[in-house]
Amino acid sequence: MSAEINTSSPPSSAPPTYPINYTFKIFRGNDKTGEFVDYEVPIDEGMVVLDAILSIQENQDTELAVRWNCKSGRCGSCGMEVNGMPKLACMTRLSDFDPKIPITVTPMKTFPILKDLVSDVSWNYEVNKTIQPFSPDEDSDFIYQQEDIERSREFRKCIECFLCQDVCHVLREHDKKDSFGGPRFFVRSAALHFHPEDTADRSEWLKEGQGGIGHCNITRCCTDVCPEHISITDNAIIPQKEYVVDNYYSILGWIKKQFNK
Ligand code: SF4
Ligand code: SF4
Ligand code: FES
């Protein structure tokens, strides 16, 4: 799959007169075969990429496949690539693009293509099952303070759009799906790990299991694309790398592991 990739550029300072015709180069096909098809769409003020795709579906090509639900950046269903960048189609404003340059829209590259703009993201749900669930101490009488929940709250903002998984080169370029969980699941394990009542030790999952956090070389691409602005690298990945080092390589961690055998 290849197409001319254009960098978006801001519109000129003169107020535009709507509607404006934009050209979209949209991938049509599946994992085995496909092509780019051009569509011209009249765009009104405030429209987003998903509006343009739904207009094509309604007026030009009823068989164009796209997954979406909320149209408000909450459900995480409409992840795709716009000019080669992972984006939520419902949150990507067309006023940020130059109407004179065609906009390329493709499915997320990291996952198998089911049809047109719809990727098969089911591998992610399988990864989720490998993470040890929340394990509170049943006898705990922990009293919550606000500061106790602040840290894990950030991670619970995740809408499972999988844009971070799509952009991560360990999955995208190296296809390490057998030994790497990806940034979304470092966020998930961080949400559990930083919960003040959780007692589970997920260092083995992180180091030797499906987590495979050692593959991550902290490029921060995942953080850059997250629509929820979760500091994936600094707040989820780096502290869990440190946790693995403490548990495996410090003397205290080694002794703890011997007792837990
Ligand atoms: S920081 Fe790590 S997990 Fe995030 S994109 Fe880079 S390699 Fe992937
Ligand atoms: S961490 Fe951010 S980019 Fe990744 S799945 Fe969650 S919301 Fe999407
Ligand atoms: S349609 Fe729900 S996030 Fe875009």
Do 233 and 106 share a structural domain?
no
pLDDT beneath 50: ranges in the chain? 2-5
pLDDT at 46: 97
Inside any domain, residue 6: no
CB of 76 within 6 A of ligand 3: the answer is yes
pLDDT at 9: 55
Do 253 and 138 share a structural domain?
yes
Inside any domain, residue 12: no
Domain count, the chain: 2
Inside any domain, residue 170: yes
Distance CA 186, CA 169 (A): 15
Do 199 and 105 share a structural domain?
no
The structure tokens listed for 87 are 């984006």
CB of 70 within 6 A of ligand 3: the answer is yes
Which residues does 252 contact at the CB level (< 8 Å), separation at least 6? Answer: 246
Which residues does 145 contact at the CB level (< 8 Å), separation at least 6? Answer: none
Inside any domain, residue 14: no
Which atom of ligand 2 is found nearest the CA of 76? Answer: 8
CATH of the domain at 78: 3.10.20.30
Do 218 and 142 share a structural domain?
yes
CB of 232 within 6 A of ligand 2: the answer is yes
Do 244 and 173 share a structural domain?
yes
Distance CA 90, CA 81 (A): 12
- Which residue, 124, 106, 222, is CA-closest to 164? 222
Distance CA 47, CA 28 (A): 22
What phi-psi label fits residue 26: left (phi over 0), alpha (psi between -120 and 50 degrees) or beta?
Answer: beta
Which atom of ligand 2 is found nearest the CA of 187? Answer: 1
Task: List pLDDT tens digits, range 55-95.
Answer: 999 999 999 999 999 999 999 999 999 999 999 999 999 99
For residue 190, the ligand closest to its alpha carbon is 2
Q: Given 88, 103, 119, which residue is the final one in a domain?
A: 119
Whether the ω angle into residue 19 lies within 30 degrees of 0, i.e. cis, is yes
CB of 226 within 6 A of ligand 2: the answer is yes
Q: How far is the CA of 76 from the centre of ligand 1 (A)?
A: 20
Q: How far is the CA of 9 from the centre of ligand 3 (A)?
A: 24
Do 200 and 128 share a structural domain?
yes
Inside any domain, residue 73: yes
Do 36 and 101 share a structural domain?
yes
What is the extent of the structural domain holding 50? 20-119
CB of 69 within 6 A of ligand 3: the answer is yes
Q: How far is the CA of 165 from the centre of ligand 1 (A)?
A: 9
pLDDT at 250: 78
Q: Are 160 and 184 in contact (CB under 8 A)?
A: yes
CATH of the domain at 226: 1.10.1060.10
CB of 168 within 6 A of ligand 1: the answer is yes
Q: Given 119, 136, 167, which residue is the final one in a domain?
A: 119
Inside any domain, residue 10: no
Q: Is 25 helix (H, G, I), strand (E, B) or coil?
A: strand
Do 160 and 59 share a structural domain?
no
Q: What is the CA radius of gyration of the chain?
A: 21
Task: Give the Å distances, CA to CA, from 19 to 27, 196, 197.
Answer: 24, 53, 55
Q: Are 183 and 165 in contact (CB under 8 A)?
A: yes
pLDDT at 2: 47
For residue 66, the ligand closest to its alpha carbon is 3
Inside any domain, residue 9: no
Task: Give the Å distances, CA to CA, from 110 to 117, 216, 238.
Answer: 13, 16, 23
CB of 68 within 6 A of ligand 3: the answer is yes
pTM of this structure = 0.91
Do 254 and 181 share a structural domain?
yes
Q: With DSSP H G I counted as helix, E B as strand and the rest as coil, what are the percentages for the chain, rounded to 5?
A: 35, 15, 50
pLDDT at 5: 47
- Number of H helices and number of E strands within the chain? 10, 7
Ligand 2 mutation target, pool 127, 164, 185, 216, most atoms within 8 A of CB: 164
The structure tokens listed for 238 are 């780096």
CB of 216 within 6 A of ligand 1: the answer is yes
Q: Given 119, 153, 187, which residue is the final one in a domain?
A: 119
Do 170 and 83 share a structural domain?
no
Backbone dihedral angles phi then psi of residue 219, each to the nearest 5 degrees: -80, -20
Do 135 and 100 share a structural domain?
no
The 3-state secondary structure of 141-200, one letter per residue? CCCCCHHHHHHHHHHCCCCCCCHHHHHCHHHHCCCCCCCCCCHHHHHHHHHHHCCCCECC
Do 93 and 61 share a structural domain?
yes
